[in-house]
Amino acid sequence: MKKIMFTGGGSAGHVTVNLALIPHFLKEGWSVQYIGSENGIERQLISTIPEVNYFAISTGKLRRYLDIQNVKDPFKVVKGLYQAYRLIKKQKPNVIFSKGGFVSVPVVIGAWLNRVPLLIHESDLTPGLANRISIPFATGVCTTFPETGSMLKESKARHVGAVIREEVKQGNADRGRAYCGFTRSKPVILIMGGSLGARRINQTVREALSRLTKQFQIVHLCGKNGVNTSIVEPGYKQFEYVNEQLPDLLAMTDIVVSRAGSNSIFEFLALKKPMLLIPLTKEQSRGDQILNAQSFEKSGYCEVLYEEKLTAGTLIKGIEQLYENKQEYEQRMSLSEDANALEAVVDWINEIAKK
């Protein structure tokens, strides 16, 4: 039996591609394993697939700023490297697939030490810190944006496009409306603040709420502890997160307001949902979301509202302008290349496993 090991975590974006790939390999009869952290979101998400054996290792965050944890975390990373090395040596996978995040670094190095081939997937236009550390040890790198290849060794990079979960495309608008208690009388906005930096978007949305609900119904994904139970507004529905219901919510959605994480915006593109993107600032991140948003804006798939200019007034204006030009955005999105990225990644994994 062929054996594949996945890794990646720290945020949902570092797990979603793995979630899209895992069912394929289970269906083909592979043994599937996952290395993640003890308490990260990856453990929670992977636990929904009982056929996958989950192994937890010690992990530390690679910070770009001063923090007392910077003294402790290198020891956690070293411990995680030892654990990953031993696990890989014992399990002997044919191939390892890494989606990135800090937990992946010990796994990547452990694979290299065990001479196990490893593929990395990079969602953003520029590789993140964990992937930049990992790329020299990898067999190859799957890129989402075509521009990313110019930053990597040509022999390692292969542009595959965005890996989209099949279930995202299976949503039902009527189920979505029933779940939220919405009607067909008004268009729907889906607002997602993400797990990081949701507070500023949440606050601004609520400042603009009375004006927006005159024209739209709003489903608002607020992030952990982000729901404000004191707000009772017809046509406004709040959730911390949704999982199984997300495809249905997307199916009923007319336009999206979101951060500019790569996995999410490519799912919106695949579903032809016009976007108003509010990327994380450079103070909040490494600037990858700004580049993602600018790339989509250049292609005509979205409007961009930078957080420095985010107010209730600019949010309302951006939403109204996006909705007014909705058909033009949908037309441009319909012309985007719809390459089968999942199939391309699976083919590359099989190619490596055969060798």
Summarize pLDDT for 53-112 with one digit per residue, the tens: 999 999 876 555 555 556 567 788 899 999 999 999 999 999 999 999 989 999 999 999
DSSP class of 194: -
* Domain total in the chain: 2
pLDDT at 322: 97
Q: Which domain holds residue 31?
A: 3-161+339-354
**Do 346 and 320 have their domain in common?**
no
Neighbours of 44 (CB within 10 A): 14
**Do 112 and 132 have their domain in common?**
yes
Q: pLDDT tens digits, residue range 152-177?
A: 877 799 999 889 888 899 999 999 99
pLDDT > 70 in the chain, percent: 94
Instruction: Calculate mean pLDDT across residues 10-29.
Output: 91
Q: pLDDT tens digits, residue range 218-238?
A: 999 998 889 999 998 999 999
Q: pLDDT tens digits, residue range 236-285?
A: 999 998 888 999 999 999 999 999 988 899 999 999 999 999 999 887 77
Give the three-class secondary structure for 293: helix
pLDDT > 90 in the chain, percent: 73
Instruction: Calculate mean pLDDT across residues 40-64.
Output: 87
CATH code: domain of residue 286: 3.40.50.2000
**Do 59 and 176 have their domain in common?**
no
Where b means 16+ CB within 10 Å and e means fewer, 227-262 reads: eeeeeeeebbbbbeebeebbbbbbbbbbbbbbbbbb
pLDDT at 287: 84
**Do 68 and 205 have their domain in common?**
no
**Do 224 and 313 have their domain in common?**
yes
Measured distance CA(223)–CA(201) in Å, rounded: 11
**Do 131 and 66 have their domain in common?**
yes
**Do 241 and 300 have their domain in common?**
yes
Residue found under tokens 């990597």: 152
**Do 186 and 124 have their domain in common?**
no
**Do 22 and 107 have their domain in common?**
yes
**Do 192 and 273 have their domain in common?**
yes
**pLDDT classification of 190: cutoffs 50, 70, 90:** very high
**Do 284 and 349 have their domain in common?**
no
DSSP string for 124-193: SSS--HHHHHHGGG-SEEEESSGGGGGGS-TTTEEE------GGGGG--HHHHHHHHT--SSS-EEEEE-
**Do 99 and 145 have their domain in common?**
yes
**Which among 169, 172, 160, 167 is positioned nearest to 23, based on CA atoms?**
167
